[in-house]
Structure 1
């Protein structure tokens, strides 16, 4: 039976110690800082355009820059780009991104500091065919791959060029798919096949990655990779972290942080690339916001060690809890909006948390991001809330309330143990890990009305809250738990990244029955409008985290690549256009890929796909199946909507 070990500690922050790989004088791994990188979007044949973009990226914080080289001509032009950069005083290491073309990789390896190859399409041609392989035919394929791959390894050794073996979830070869399926294990084995060849040839300047647009799959694959390296006695190679096709704006930042952040929390990762459908110079600051959190993480308040992980870190399974009202059990995770910092008169404006009052029909309306509960602290709402929205009050205020049915209490541990009157159906209890002692746990196990609101003050808060979940699991206490985090004043990017890391890291492992972003540490002196905006931002972030962790789908998901020199249309403009027409299709996943390299493979998780297949030409997919080829781009969005209609997933957008 495979051990569950994948990091140094589940309780104490400790970065995984890896082999050092020197990339053009900027070493990665070991005790070196976690590096930040990105990828150009300009056509590689546009030398000056590429150079200017690289300079903008470096000035924004990129320590490595990747450039696509889909054929020999682009690989050759990397030399011109490099010469011009050096002439201007920029020594940033360059990485050639290779798919399908070993001859381009072999040329690029003589020019740039690192090459990236994708095992799924470097020596394989993915035909999306399920072929049965015998052991003999499978091994024959491995021999063929060795023959194709060995020349590149020898060139890299000769020129001192580093290599990233980068597996992508959506582009696993037919051979891997036939044996392992579309799984994290298949991703790991795909990379290990190439890594074993490198080891046989005594080449070790290697970085590994396991990228996916599905955050659960991505996290499981990286963990499993580290586990397998240890199991096979292979060297601890550095890890490149990234969520493939994360998207744009708030969604892209949250999704990236959910996938990347949980790995960084456990000390995994030596370089980070955030893939946003935005200009590449906007990616580095987001990545830097992620990695800078760990500069001073060592020395946090001690957390009780974890002797054995009670959950499987390599597969998703939601923690079993009993149902309390509409929390826990089979219910989707809930969102609690903290409105306790508002003045009582401001409560009527709940549109920021998805509830709209319409005066003329005298009715409430809720959108897809409508909070499930509001926490009002000691100031009860003085009007009837919309149907289905429950109010949580501090226990003392609840005791004084005339409506003890529709309003529910939030108790401290002392109030809970004092044994006073409680709500007949649901009682929220705020506590931290240290409160889960021999006195409280037995009482909670017997109480079918309790819901924990789990807080933390620890700088290593995700690990402390995870430890609390483990304690509940080991005690066989199936009480529902809301994950609560509170932050001081942050920028929007910081809030989205910190909260997505801290909460998403738990949800990824099936831990948590809801989320709550508290406002108690937000700065004083905000106007009514500023506080309403803050609460609305917190609410949207909560729903975004649940969606990114794949635990509650409340809006359309766009799996859009960040663009590169291979892209065959204006990706940002097209994504915005598709979003405008389809953003009301709750739970539908649409892949928007700039070229055949990133689609359909990288949108393996999408329900529908829009993929560039030539200048001005689009191929449209339903799942992995091509529905229409060569559609003129001016008609492609309409045709895509037609396919969604035929698939039964289209609904008309309601007028605001």
Structure 2
């Protein structure tokens, strides 16, 4: 199986794509990774669209996308463009097209780029035919190609670029019938259109594979790159994005998990972060993700190529007549012991509640918190009531706390386990309710072990043959795996590959420590580093920590701990490995939106955010309705002014509910399904 989807799994190298000219600002090739976003104002509001575009450009947008759902909006793009140019703004404009080929053909004569969605552009989504024969399938493909061909020819004539943007939730019935709701179906949907572009000698194409499910999104992009190479097609630039990521912290974390994972491997030529916020709020997030890679190659420490461990493959390649150098290159490109196109969790032994079939666990680092008290545990999700003299755990309660050299001086709540440094554990009498954390050298020389669970700090360099043997021989050992390499995720992944190659099945806690960063930088970096590993099935837990300046107060430490604890659970949820709270799949709004998305999302969140693991799609229009919320349990979709359709999965249950009644009826639908839980509020005051 050809697993090659990026230039290197161990060295930071950006994929060299074809350069595509978009107005005066080319994308791909050796150009920087570009930032873009999309307006939310009605496209017929010329001045409103212009003013918002100017704000977006000021915020860092290099391309601005505007919806053109019909011919009249496509025509008005010319007025918007004229006014922008009159004001000295030359930002390239992109027309967003879904169901209307006529609008696309008109827009292509006006703007610098058009975006089409293969699942919606001249394709059917009525499920008239569930089973296609080869002949009926081919006939349908040819019908779509003939409908698409005029747009390609217009784009070629006018020098207009095109994005072929597949969305996971809007695959046609034909694609679904043959490929299912899969990354392969997404890729094939785009390739059908792309093959026609190449037949017409039209190459100014950008590709995207967007999904709200980060696992599906990452797998689809990887598979797309592999298929382009396999078919000998051009290395087209990639537009990266997690569709309908949501708002606030959750939206940023989810975007970073998906987009950051691909950026780590050198994939991506432009980024759009889809937040249910004002569009000018998106560009700084995209830029923060991109900027991390500006000097990555220079800052990264060398990582041994996979061939260093997978020696058998090198020998076999050499035996086939390849040089040793060629064998190493081949091995590093295609020797990954995991399937990058399909999720499989690394097989591990179960140690207490870690590994095996257990969900990934969250460990909180309290080792530097001064003067720990009962009330301080609220920062890691364990709330202490002085009135009742007991703890209550919320849905984001940490599973473990690491106290280092300072064991906690009071009894912990049930379910919360404490990890202490090995020396503190020995000096404290080897308590059975404390679990020791060994440095690698301590683990190698000490005979003292906890009978159930022992943690061992490791990095890639310390995973020697001797260390691996000790881990293999101890069924109680769990690794805490870290790195100080700027190229962090690939180095930790490389350590996992070594474990897999040597058949070491001990569970692993991913440990990421950051210097002094802003809260948003910590969010984005941790979501990338940890999320990228989780998406590949690597990791049985996470522990995050960050440095604070020495003069920071205890309250500031607690605030940081709270943020890191929530971030840990947020990353696990965004990677679809542990669902601990309600997930909102909400679109970022555009000119098609039929209600105030930010206000509505806040209202629905207020009523439902206590539901653990329920996914609710909140979509502003039918274009982003049943398709884009494909992964949701329930949907709230605008179908007209003041009218809402309610969905169970992708099935519409109520078609035209008055907006003022819609949230109540959504909750009634959950009640019918037995998924509604009345919110519970603490009756007694929580101290701290």
TM-score (norm 1): 0.99
Partner residue, 1:250: 249
**Equivalent residues in 2 for 1:625-640, closer than 5 Å:** 625-640=651-666
* Separation of aligned partners in 2, 1:535 and 1:420: 34
Q: Within 2, Cα distance between the matches of 1:639 and 1:559?
A: 19
Match of 1:404 among 409, 431, 436: 431
Contact 2:124 2:172 survives alignment (8 Å): yes
Tell me, yes or no, if structure 1 residue 608 matches structure 2 residue 607: no
SS at match of 1:50: helix
Residue 493 of structure 1 pairs with residue 520 of structure 2: yes
Q: CA deviation at 1:19?
A: 0.3
The answer to whether the 8 A contact 1:445-1:478 is kept is yes
Aligned equivalent of 1:16:
15
**Offset, 1:490:** 1.3
CA distance in 2, matches of 1:101, 1:270: 27
Distance 2:180 2:416 in 1: 43
In structure 2, the residue matched to 1:7 is 6
Structure 1 residue 523 displacement after superposition: 2.7
Q: How does 1:213-612 map to 2 (within 5 A)?
A: 213-299=212-298, 300-306=300-306, 307=331, 308-346=335-373, 348-402=375-429, 404-519=431-546, 521-612=547-638
Name the structure 1 match of 2:319. Answer: none
Q: What are the within-5 Å matches in structure 2 for residues 138-217 of structure 1?
A: 138-217=137-216
Instruction: Give, in whole Å, the separation in 1 of the partners of 2:394 and 2:249.
Output: 18
Take 1:459 and 1:20, find their aligned partners in 2: how far apart are those partners? 28
Structure 1 contact 40–53 (Cα < 8 Å) conserved: yes
Indicate the SS of the match to 1:433. coil
Give 3-state SS (helix, strand or coil) of 1:312's partner. coil
Count of aligned pairs: 654
**How has the CA–CA distance of structure 1 residues 609 and 128 changed in structure 2, closer, same or farther, with 3 Å as cutoff?**
farther
Q: Distance in 1 between matches of 2:375 and 2:57?
A: 47
* Secondary structure, counterpart of 2:21 in structure 1: strand
Cα drift, residue 491 of structure 1: 1.4
Unaligned runs of 5+ in 2: 307-330, 683-688
Could you tell me which residue of structure 1 aligns to residue 60 of structure 2? 61
Counterpart among 630, 644, 667 of residue 618 in structure 1? 644
Task: Say whether the 8 Å CA contact 1:344–1:379 is kept in structure 2.
Answer: no
Could you tell me which residue of structure 2 aligns to residue 93 of structure 1? 92
CA contact (8 A) 2:18 2:29 kept: yes
What's the offset of the Cα at 1:347? 5.7
Please list the CA deviations of residues 39-59 of structure 1 after superposition, one character each: whole Å capped at 9, or x if unmatched: 000000000000000000000
Hey, what's the Cα distance between the residues in 2 that align with 1:334 and 1:76?
54
Aligned partner of 1:111 in structure 2 is 110
**Hey, what's the Cα distance between the residues in 2 that align with 1:289 and 1:280?**
15
Q: Deviations over 1:220-272 (max 9, x none)?
A: 00000000000000000000000000000000000000000000000000000
Partner of 2:82, secondary structure, is: helix
Summarize the alignment of residues 29-48 of structure 1 with structure 2, pairs less than 5 Å apart: 29-48=28-47
SS in 2 for 1:602: coil
Q: CA deviation at 1:348?
A: 4.0
Q: Which whole-Å deviations, capped at 9, do the CAs of 1:426-459 have from their partners, x for residues lacking one? A: 0110110001111111111010010000010001
- Aligned-residue CA RMSD (Å): 0.9
Kept after mapping to 1: 8 A contact 2:374/2:384? no
- 1:488 touches 1:523 (CA, 8 Å); kept in 2? no
Shift of 1:125: 2.7
Q: Do structure 1's residue 123 and structure 2's residue 150 form an aligned pair?
A: no
User: 8 Å contact 1:100–1:125 — kept in the other structure?
Assistant: no
Counterpart CA distance in 1 for 2:518 and 2:470 is: 41
- Contact 2:69–2:103 (CA under 8 A) maintained in structure 1: yes
TM-score by length of structure 2 reads 0.94
Contact in 2 for aligned 1:547/1:554 (Cα 8 Å): yes
SS of match in other structure, 2:166: strand
Taking the aligned partners of 1:116 and 1:563, their CA distance within structure 2 comes to: 17
Match of 2:679 in 1: 653
**Structure 1 moving runs of 4+ over 4 Å:** none
Contact 1:347–1:381 under 8 Å retained in 2: no
1:524 Cα deviation after fit: 2.0
Q: SS of the residue aligned with 1:620?
A: strand
- The alpha-carbon deviation at position 402 of structure 1 amounts to 4.0
- In the aligned structure 1, how far is the partner of 2:501 from the partner of 2:128? 44
Secondary structure of the residue aligned to 1:349 is helix
